[in-house]
C-alpha cells in the first residue's frame, strides 16, 4: 500500500508522462482494455463449455429434463454473452 506522499509522487509522474508523450500512455490504456476484453471472452467461453458438459452428463445419467434445462440455461447465457459483446463493439 502506498502512503499519501508516494501516491502524490506517482500522480505527478503520470501527469508529466501524459504531458510529454500522450501516445505512450494511450498505448498502455489500449492494451489494458484489450486484456480485459480477452479475459471476459475466455471466462464466458469456459462457462458455456462447462454448461454443455453438464448437458452431456445429464443425458448420460438418463435425465432428459435436466439436460433440456441445462441446454436452455446455456442458450440464455450464450445469447446474453453475444448481445453484450455486440454492445461493447459498437461503443
The 8-class DSSP code of residue 73 comes to H
Give the chain's radius of gyration (CA, Å): 22
Q: Tell me the pLDDT of the chain averaged across its residues.
A: 81
Q: What confidence tens digit (pLDDT) does each residue in 51-90 have?
A: 889 889 999 999 999 899 888 988 888 888 778 766 655 5
Least confident window among 11-15, 23-27, 71-75: 23-27
The predicted pLDDT at position 64 comes to 92
**pTM, two decimal places:** 0.47
Sign of CA dihedral 85, 86, 90, 91: negative
B/e letters for 25-50, b = 16+ CB within 10 Å, e = fewer, are eeeeeeeeeeeeeeeeeeebeeeeee
The pLDDT tens digits for 46-58 are 888 888 898 899 9
Amino acid at each position: 500500500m502506498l502512503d499519501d506522499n508516494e501516491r502524490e509522487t506517482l500522480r505527478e509522474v503520470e501527469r508529466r508522462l501524459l504531458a510529454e508523450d500522450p501516445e505512450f500512455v494511450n498505448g498502455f490504456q489500449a492494451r489494458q482494455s484489450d486484456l480485459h476484453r480477452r479475459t471476459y471472452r475466455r471466462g464466458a467461453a469456459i462457462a458455456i463449455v462447462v454448461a454443455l458438459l453438464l448437458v452431456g452428463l445429464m443425458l448420460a445419467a438418463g435425465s432428459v429434463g435436466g439436460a433440456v434445462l441445462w441446454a436452455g440455461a446455456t442458450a440464455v447465457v450464450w445469447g446474453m454473452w453475444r448481445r453484450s459483446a455486440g454492445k461493447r463493439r459498437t461503443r
